[in-house]
């Protein structure tokens, strides 16, 4: 199971060089961050320069939360919504955040809250 980041910071691996103070989003690989693109869902701000293969500290906009997933599958970086019966879902109208890790129906996943 993932580590819940409730202290306001997350340590993420980076596959490319990213400059300190850049907005960060998740890649489709579990626990991997990247410089946020224009269509990305930013989760926080990188605290130091990193090069490819390094881990970096990201100051999160909001603490992460664990949630039960209700759907077929979810991948890291998928946008999550408030779903039926108290579950996170990949479909809906009320955005909740971004998945940190992949999972399937009934799994507990970590969500970086973005709203």
3-state secondary structure 25-38: EECCCCCEEEECCC
Mean pLDDT calculated for residue range 11-23:
96
pTM: predicted TM-score of the whole model, two decimal places: 0.86
Residue 9: predicted pLDDT? 92
Instruction: Dump pLDDT digits (tens) for 31-79.
Output: 899 999 877 799 999 999 999 999 999 999 998 899 999 999 999 999 9
pLDDT at 1 over 50: no
Residues paired with 99 in a beta bridge: 111
Query: 């799994």: which residue's tokens?
Result: 107
- The answer to whether residues 109 and 67 touch, using CB atoms and an 8 Å cutoff, is yes
């Amino acid at each position: 199971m993932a580590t819940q980041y409730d202290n306001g910071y997350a340590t993420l691996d980076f596959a490319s060089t990213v400059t300190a103070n850049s907005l960060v989003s998740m890649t489709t690989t579990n626990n991997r961050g990247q410089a946020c693109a224009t269509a990305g869902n930013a989760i926080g701000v990188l605290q130091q320069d990193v090069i490819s293969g390094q881990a970096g500290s990201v100051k999160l906009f909001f603490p992460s939360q664990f949630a039960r997933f209700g759907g077929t599958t979810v991948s890291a970086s998928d946008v999550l919504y408030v779903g039926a019966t108290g579950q996170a879902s990949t479909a809906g109208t009320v955005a909740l955040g971004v998945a940190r890790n992949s999972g399937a129906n009934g799994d507990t996943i970590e969500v970086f809250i973005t709203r």
